[in-house]
């Protein structure tokens, strides 16, 4: 009988989105709840079953149509506190990072492995694709709120490394509300190593 997957429970502090009607806006805004379907958050600018390949997937030519596994952005309030402390600012808001979900109570959220599932009370289930690597764009937003502190945009990349959160996609549609308890289920651990290259004698034989 398979061993039950390890899990823990956190809580959803904030739900955020940014619609296609706000094309020049990177910052998301708080809403009480969102519906999610197989394309992502209904009405959010990142929703879609497919997306165009960019620098994140260099194994495809830029612009190639691929499956959208970056439908949602998830961050940790605890990790944002650490980023703010490193930058020397009072706080870093989830909205400044363009996030959709802000969780509390999930230690080292950004380190959760790909394949981790988030279960919400009203059916919605998300699958984590992997780390959302930091870039200067959120740093510019932070810098705009602290014009007296120079270099925040570039410093953000290092400060937020492995603390920027995750991206994921919708496995099961449902409703997500601020304040929800969130069950986090890790995938079964996998240990894999590449086979060693055959020696010259083995290759000849």
Beta bridge partners of 125: 119, 172
73/129 Cα distance (integer angstroms):
10
- Phi and psi angles of residue 69, each rounded to the nearest 5 degrees, phi first: -105, 15
Q: Is 94 exposed, middle or buried (0-12, 13-18, 19+ CB in 10 A)?
A: buried
Q: What is the pTM of this model?
A: 0.89
Distance CA 18, CA 35 (A): 14
pLDDT in single tens digits along all 205 residues of the chain: 566 777 899 999 999 999 877 666 789 999 999 999 999 999 999 999 999 999 889 999 999 999 999 999 999 999 999 999 999 999 999 999 999 999 999 999 999 999 999 999 999 999 999 999 999 999 999 999 999 988 899 999 999 999 999 999 999 999 999 999 999 999 988 888 888 877 666 555 5
Rounded Cα distance between 134 and 56, Å, is 12
Q: How far apart are alpha carbons 14 and 165 in whole angstroms?
A: 14
């Amino acid at each position: 009988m398979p061993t039950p997957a390890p899990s823990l429970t956190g809580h959803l502090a904030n739900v955020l989105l940014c619609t296609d009607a706000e094309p020049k806006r990177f910052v998301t805004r708080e809403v009480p709840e969102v519906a999610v379907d197989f394309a992502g958050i209904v009405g959010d600018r990142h929703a879609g079953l497919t997306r165009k390949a960019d620098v994140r997937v260099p194994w495809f030519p830029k612009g190639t149509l691929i499956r959208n596994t970056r439908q949602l952005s998830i961050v940790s309030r605890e990790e944002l506190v650490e980023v703010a402390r490193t930058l020397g600012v009072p706080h870093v808001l989830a909205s400044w990072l363009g996030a959709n979900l802000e969780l509390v109570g999930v230690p080292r959220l950004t380190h959760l492995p790909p394949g981790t599932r988030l279960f919400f009370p009203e059916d919605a289930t998300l699958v984590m694709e992997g780390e959302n690597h930091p870039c200067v764009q959120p740093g510019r937003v932070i810098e705009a709120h602290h014009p007296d502190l120079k270099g925040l945009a570039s410093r953000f990349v290092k400060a937020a490394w492995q603390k920027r959160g995750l991206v994921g996609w919708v496995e099961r549609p449902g409703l997500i509300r601020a304040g929800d308890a969130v069950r986090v289920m890790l995938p079964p651990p996998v240990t894999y190593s590449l086979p060693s290259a055959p020696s010259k004698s083995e290759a000849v034989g």
